[in-house]
Amino acid sequence: MFVDYTLRVIALVFLLNVLEVEPQNVDPFCYGKPGGFHADPNNCLMYYNCDDGIPRHYTCPANEAFDSNQLICTAAQYSACTGAVVAQTAAQFCTGKTAGFYPHPNFCDKFYQCNSDGTETVHLCYSGLGFNSATGSCDDTIAC
């Protein structure tokens, strides 16, 4: 009997707290958009990831801009961005590296391809996969 009463009191307190929750400020960017990556309309160096209507705002690494055609951050000069790109002053990721694939320093589902001619490309793994630096490919053994 006592346990049943305690559970009812806990449920009532929980319900009252839920009903009194004030609405939070919500960024409406993702309303009406499919899940996934979307260019920031005001800044080519930034993009959104819409996940179940929740926007997450990201900034591309140094010297990169978001390419809305490829849906990745790529070297600013190769980006299809049509907005204003602000110059970034950090060194390129692949400077001093041999040709190959390298994990992205900020995102487990992205990786750099450093080419022998000094160019670089950022690649995005398919949904649910992460870049495995041991194999040089995307797989499901990397938890993002």
Structural domains in the chain plus CATH codes: 26-90 (2.170.140.10), 92-144 (no CATH)
Give yes or no for residue 136 having a pLDDT over 60: yes
CA pair distance 71, 34, nearest whole angstrom:
13
CA gap 141, 60 in Å, rounded: 25
Paired strand residues for 49: 37, 56
Residue 64: pLDDT over 70? yes
Q: Is the pLDDT of residue 22 over 60?
A: no
User: pLDDT at residue 4 above 60?
Assistant: no
Joined together, the tokens standing for residue 84 give 């204003």
pTM as predicted? 0.43
Q: What would the mean pLDDT of 11-35 be, rounded to a whole number?
A: 59
pLDDT band at 114 (very low <50, low <70, confident <90, very high): confident
Examine the pLDDT at 105 and tell me if it is beyond 60. yes
* Whether pLDDT at 59 is above 70: yes
Per-residue tokens: 119: 């160019």
**Residue closest to 47 by CA, chosen among 95, 80, 91:** 80
Side-chain half-sphere CA neighbours of 47 within 13 A: 23
- Alpha carbon 40 to chain centroid distance? 12
Q: What percent of the residues of the chain are helix, what percent strand, and what percent coil, each to the nearest 5?
A: 15, 30, 55
